[in-house]
Homo-oligomer: A and B are copies of this chain.
Amino acid sequence: MDASTRTRILSAVDDLFEVETQFLSELTAHPSTRGNEQSAQDFMAKELAERGMDVDRWQIDVNDICDMPGFSPVIGNYEDAVNVVGSHRSATGKGRSLILNGHIDVVPEGPLDMWDTPPFEPRVDDGWMYGRGAGDMKAGLASNLFALDALRACGMQPAADVFFQSVVEEECTGNGALACLQRGYRADAALIPEPFAESLVTAQLGVIWFQVHLKGLPTHVAYAGSGSNAIEAAIPLIAALHEMEHRWNAPERRHADYAHHDHALNLNVGKFQGGDWASSVPAWCVFDVRMGLFPGQDIETAKEEIEAVLRQAAREHAFLRNNTPEIVYHGFHAEGYALSQDTSARAGQAIGALEGAHQAVTDTTLDKAAITATTDARFFGLYADTPALVYGPKAEAIHGFNERVDLDSVRRVTQTTALFIADWCGLEPAG
C-alpha cells in the first residue's frame, strides 16, 4: 500500500468518525443483555444490509453445536439467541480472507443507583462514551464496520472475502462464535476488537462456570441448634475453593505466558441466593462461581479437582457430610488459548500486518499482553486452525458501573483495522 492510499484511508476514518460515534451510541442504547439481543441484532443486520453485504441471521440450535469441541453447557433452549453475519464477497479474490468478529451481548447492568447516568442511555463526556457495553464490546463492532466504510469512502473494498460477525453468548458460553464455525464460516485470520487498550492479546485464559447447590435442615430459628443453615454452610466451601485457587496459581503450575503473573487465575463468587425468611433456618442456597484456567489446562481434570475440593469440604461439615453439594455446570467450559504458541506462517503474517498497521497509526510498537480473561478467539485458534488477533480500544469499568470507552482510542483502532484489512486482504475497486 502506498503512502497516499494509507493517508486517504486514515483521513476517511477521521471524516466518518462523527457518524461512527453516533452509530456506537445507538448500538449501546440497545440493552442487549443475555436473552435481549434481538433489537441490537436487528439494528446490526440492517446496517450490514445497507452496506450491500449478504446478511445471514439465524437462531442458534443447541443440537447443531452441542457435540462440537468448545461447546459450553446451557440451560434451556436458544429461542432468543440470534447470530448475524454479513458477508462481503470480493470480485477478485486475490487477497487473504478475514473474519471480523464482535459480540453483541453485554453483562447485566446491576443496581441502577450505582450508575451516574442510566447504563443504556449512552453519553459522551470528555472524550469518553459511557454506557453498559460501550467498551465491551460495541466499540469493537463499530470499529470493524467503519474500517470497511472508510475503505469504501476511498472507492475501495477488500480484495478477499470478509465475514462480519455479530455474535451472542460471548459473556457466558461462547456458543455464538461456535455456531458461526458450525455454520461454515472460515477465513485465513480473525480479528476481534475486544477492549484491551490497543495491545495484541497473545494469550487468554480458560474459564469455567459452576453453580453449587446446598441444602440445609430448616427449622424455626427458635430451634436453630437442631437445624443446618444452608447459607452459612457455603462459607467453608468458598474458603476451600479459594485454597484451590491459591494452589492453581502456584509458580510451578503457571503457563509460560503467565509466569510472572502472581494471580492470573481468579475465582469469583459472582452470585449468591439462599433462604426465604429471616426467622427460618434456610433450607437452600445456590452460588455461582467463575474460575480461570491456564492455556493447556484440561477442563475435565479441572472439574474433577473442583468437585473433589467441594466434596472434601462437605465431608468436614456436620450436615453436608450426608447431604452432598450438587454441582451444576452451565456457562463457560472455555479452554485457554495462546496465539503466542501458533508458530504457523499465517499467524506470523497476521501479527506482522497488525504490527505494521498499529505502527502506522500510533507511531508506537504494538504492545503484547497475556490477559486474565477469555474471548471468542479460542474458537478460531483452537478449533478452526485460524490465527485470531484480539486487538481493540481502551475501555474502563467493563462489567462495572459507569463503563466507558475512550473515543480517541476507538478512532485509532478503526484506523488500524482499516489499514490491517487493506494489507491482509488487499484492495480492489469498490463494487
Is there a chain B Cβ closer than 8 Å to A111's Cβ? yes
Tell me, in angstroms, the Cα distance from A288 to B232 when the chains sit together. 12
Q: How many chain-A residues does the 8 Å CB contact rule pick out?
A: 62
Is there a chain B Cβ closer than 8 Å to A215's Cβ? yes
Contacts of A401 in B (CB 8 A): 218, 283
The one of B108, B207, B276, B279 that contacts A276, using a Cβ cutoff of 8 Å: B108
Contact assessment for A372 and B222 in the assembled complex, using a CB-CB cutoff below 8 Å: yes
Is there a chain B Cβ closer than 8 Å to A398's Cβ? yes
Known A231-B272, A284-B111; judge A224-B266 contact (CB<8 A): yes
Closest to A204 in B: B222
Known A271-B274, A277-B271, A372-B223; judge A218-B282 contact (CB<8 A): no
Contact assessment for A229 and B269 in the assembled complex, using a CB-CB cutoff below 8 Å: yes
Closest to A223 in B: B372
The one of B220, B235, B268, B278 that contacts A279, using a Cβ cutoff of 8 Å: B268
Is there a chain B Cβ closer than 8 Å to A114's Cβ? yes
Contact assessment for B397 and A219 in the assembled complex, using a CB-CB cutoff below 8 Å: yes
Interface string of A241-280 (1 = CB under 8 A from B): 0000000000000000000000100101111111111111
Is there a chain B Cβ closer than 8 Å to A91's Cβ? no
Contact assessment for B209 and A278 in the assembled complex, using a CB-CB cutoff below 8 Å: yes
Find residues 148-173 in chain A having any chain B CB closer than 8 Å to their own CB: 171-172
Contacts of A310 in B (CB 8 A): none
Interface string of A328-349 (1 = CB under 8 A from B): 0001100000000000000000
Interface centre among A209, A217, A278, A332 (most CB of B within 10 A): A278
Contacts of A68 in B (CB 8 A): none
Is there a chain B Cβ closer than 8 Å to A311's Cβ? no
Tell me, in angstroms, the Cα distance from A269 to B274 when the chains sit together. 10
Tell me, in angstroms, the Cα distance from A372 to B225 when the chains sit together. 11
The one of B136, B218, B269, B282 that contacts A232, using a Cβ cutoff of 8 Å: B269
Minimum C-beta distance from A325 to chain B (A): 15
Interface string of A367-399 (1 = CB under 8 A from B): 000011100000000000000000000000111
Known A279-B290, A372-B223, A400-B283; judge A110-B271 contact (CB<8 A): no
Q: Determine how many copies of this chain the complex contains.
A: 2
Interface string of A273-317 (1 = CB under 8 A from B): 111111111111101111010000000000000000000000000
Contacts of A279 in B (CB 8 A): 107, 171-172, 207, 209, 268, 270, 290, 332, 373, 399
Is there a chain B Cβ closer than 8 Å to A19's Cβ? no
Closest to A232 in B: B269
Tell me, in angstroms, the Cα distance from A271 to B280 when the chains sit together. 9
Is there a chain B Cβ closer than 8 Å to A81's Cβ? no
Minimum C-beta distance from A210 to chain B (A): 9
Contact assessment for A110 and B276 in the assembled complex, using a CB-CB cutoff below 8 Å: yes
Minimum C-beta distance from A214 to chain B (A): 11
Is there a chain B Cβ closer than 8 Å to A238's Cβ? yes
Contact assessment for A275 and B271 in the assembled complex, using a CB-CB cutoff below 8 Å: yes
12 A-B pairs (CB sep. < 8 Å): A172-B278, A218-B397, A218-B401, A225-B266, A227-B400, A231-B270, A270-B275, A271-B278, A272-B282, A278-B289, A279-B290, A280-B400
Known contacts A171-B279, A268-B281, then 16 further A-B pairs from the complex at CB < 8 Å, ordered by chain A residue = A209-B278, A218-B401, A219-B399, A221-B266, A221-B290, A231-B271, A231-B272, A231-B287, A232-B269, A270-B276, A270-B277, A270-B282, A271-B276, A278-B332, A279-B373, A280-B399
